[in-house]
Amino acid sequence: MIYLDNSATTKPWPEVMETFIKASGDYFGNPSSMHQLGKDAGILLSKARDSAASMLGVEAEEVIFTSGGSESNALAVQGTMKALASRGKHAVTTVMEHPSVLKQFQDQEKQGAEVTYLQPGSDGRITASQVIQALRKDTVLVSIIRVQNEIGTVQPIEEIGRELAAFPKIYFHTDDVQGAGKLPIDLTYVDLYSLSSHKFHGVRGAGILVKKKGKNPAPLIMGGAQENGMRAGTENVPAAAAMVKALRLSREAYQASNGRLRELHNKMTNHYQGMTGVEINTPASGSVPYILNISVKHSKPEAIVEELSGRGIYISSKSACSSKEKNTDSVLGACGYTKERAETALRISLSAETTEQDIDELLRACSSIFPAVQLVVGGK
C-alpha cells in the first residue's frame, strides 16, 4: 500500500495508539469527579495541556481541547462574531479557506454580517497589505488559512499578525490544520489558532483552539464549566493525551524529513511537467513540500483515483471535506484557474514516512494511467 492522501487524514503513529489505549484503560475516570480515578484523569489532562502549550509557545490556560479542526474553526469564527457583535459585524478572510471556515462566514452573512473575501495573487498567496487595506472601522475578525489544504500554499501569518497588532481590538485567527506538527510557527501575534489531531498522525475526534488571554469568543457548547468555560462536556482525556504525543512526534519527524520531502516534491513536479496535458497547480515557491496539486487535461480525476486505487496507490481528486458535495466551488476556481483545470485536479499529499520508492511507483503508474484515461475521455 502506498498512501498519498495525508492531507485528508494520516495514519496514527504506533506510539500514539499505545498512549490512547493505555489512557482509555487506566484513566477512564471523569476529570471532574472528586474521587481518585477522576483526579488521575484530571492530572493526565493537565499534563497534556501543559505539553501542548509548551510546544505551541503559549500558556496552558490558552489551550482549549475540542473535537477537531472543524469545531475549533467554528468556535473561532462563530464565537468571535457573536461575542463582538455589538462592536461590529465585518470580517476579513480569503477565498481559499477550508469549508469549515467558509461556511461559518456564509452563515454569518445570513445573520447580517459583512465579509470581505480576499483573492490571492498569481503565487497563491495573500499579502499583509491586502489584509490591512480590507479593514474597516467595524471589522472584528480576520481569519486566514495558513497552509491551503488543496494546493499547499503557505500564507505569511507571522507578518500579517505583526501588522494587525496595530489593531488590538480585531481578533486574528488562523486555521493551521494542514501545518500544525509539520511546520514551525510563532503565535506571538495570533489570537486564535486551530489544529486537528488526525492531520499529524494522531487519533480522530481531537483538536485544539488556542485562545489568547483577553480574547473571548462566545462558547458554542454550553453546560458544564470544562475548558475554562469555553467548551462544555466531559473531556476526551485519551484523545487529548494521544494528540499531544502525536504533536511531539510529528514535530520531530517532519523537521527531520522536510528536506527529503522537498526533493520528492521536486521529483514529482519535474516528472509531471514532462507529461503531455499535465499542469502543475501548486506554486513553485511559498508552498509546503508535502502537498502537490496537478491537473490532467481531458480526464476524469475520479477515474484516475480509481485506477491508482486498484494498484494500491491512494491519492485524492479534491479535499476529502468537499468530495461528497456536488456543487462545492473549488479553491482552484476561486484562485482564477479555468473550469476544466479545476475540475481535472488531483492532490498528492505526502507524510514523513513517504519513501522515494513510493513516489517512483506512483510516477510509473501515472505514466500509463494518465494517457489511457485521457484517450478514453478525450475520445468521447
How far apart are alpha carbons 89 and 337 in whole angstroms?
31
Q: Does residue 321 carry a catalytic annotation?
A: yes
The SS3 call for residue 147 is strand
HSE (CB half, 13 Å, CA atoms) of 36? 1
What length is written for the chain?
A: 380
Alpha helices per DSSP H over 127-236: 128-134, 157-164
> Looking at 321, 334, 363, 377, which residue is catalytic?
321
**Residue 115 grid cell:** 465579509
How far apart are alpha carbons 108 and 82 in whole angstroms?
9
How far apart are alpha carbons 129 and 248 in whole angstroms?
34
Instruction: Quote the radius of gyration of the chain (alpha carbons, Å).
Output: 21
E strand segments, the chain: 2-3, 63-66, 90-94, 114-118, 139-143, 171-175, 192-196, 207-211, 278-280, 291-296, 313-314, 345-349
How far apart are alpha carbons 119 and 325 in whole angstroms?
23
- Residues annotated as catalytic (active site), given as ranges: 321
